[in-house]
Amino acid sequence: MQQATDHFAAYSFVDRIIEFEPGRHARGTFAIPASLAAFSSALVAEAVGQLAAWTAMDHIGFRRRPVAALATETRFYAEARPGATLVLEADLFACDDDAVAYNGRASVDGVTIAELVDCLGPMLPVADFDAPEAMRERLALLRNGGAEPGRFHGIEPMPVQIDKRLPGVEIVASFVVPAHARFFADHFPRRPVFPATLLLDTQMRLAVDLARESRAMAGATPKPVRMTHVKMRSFIVPSQLLSIAVSLSPGEADTIKAMLSAATDGRTVASARLELARAPVNEARGRESRTSSAGGVS
């Protein structure tokens, strides 16, 4: 059973909102606890999406909230290290009771480490997932001093069973979504849903392992640099058995492309494309942070 203290702690990645233009723009922060072993790029993208979600919910009076966003492109420039503070930005270019469309980015020490481009989040009733008043109060706290940092204690990687493996070419695996997990206290208290970003994180880990075996990545550490065509076709719920597949194909010089998919009962529930680079991502690939962009969840 989830503890009340897990709410806004177990899967919440915005500590404070320092700029807020209703319905248009928000800038916030999240302090990655130094005690964590790692903080994945998928969770960085989740943090940006959560900031966009707060902006969208406020704009329509907490009637509805975005879920299972479709992301045209996510760019990963560098990893976020435990102990660092993420500076998050979200720019909404459309928002109503049906959907929110936004761009966003995350930076550390003035260098952009991730960008989300042309994201679309369908909106569903807030009350189906959480208490609207609790959400209002949380946003007020984030905008007025912020929440106590360090409440996130990490998430263990999802245990997967490898069902088929062609080294350097393809992996087919399966895992059962936990029946109970701390992150359901945030995702979501009234209707537990397995976070899409945890699914993507699991698939990205498999893609990296598979890419290490490929000729194109021989002697190198593959790094995810770009994800496109992310589509979540249905909710993934506790105790659901998932079959996930990762297949590789050659990309341009020093890159590999991976097709990611997840299915249950023979029905595809999620898909995405991932690009991995041979050379490590470093500061040279980062971009200087901007306070605005040309536009703008879990």
Where do the domains of the chain lie? Answer: 4-288
The whole-number average pLDDT for the span 248-262 is 87
pLDDT at 233 over 60: yes
pLDDT at position 279, please? 58
Q: What is the pLDDT of residues 185-219, one digit of tens each?
A: 999 999 999 999 999 999 999 999 999 988 878 77
Q: How far is C-alpha 106 from the chain's CA centre?
A: 12
Confidence of residue 283 (pLDDT cuts 50, 70, 90): very low
Is domain 4-288 annotated with CATH 3.10.129.10?
A: yes
The whole-number average pLDDT for the span 119-148 is 96
* Burial class of residue 68 (count of CB atoms within 10 Å of its CB; 0-12, 13-18, 19+): buried
Q: What is the pLDDT of residues 9-25, one digit of tens each?
A: 999 999 999 999 999 99
| φ/ψ (deg, to 5) at 184 | -65, -20
Q: How far is C-alpha 181 from the chain's CA centre?
A: 17
pLDDT at position 280, please? 52
Tokens 């960085």 locate to 44
Task: Note whether 9 and 186 are within 8 A (CB).
Answer: yes
pLDDT at 141 over 70: yes
pLDDT at position 122, please? 94
pLDDT at position 68, please? 76
Task: Note whether 161 and 173 are within 8 A (CB).
Answer: yes
Helices 41-59 and 132-143 meet at what angle, rounded to 10? 110
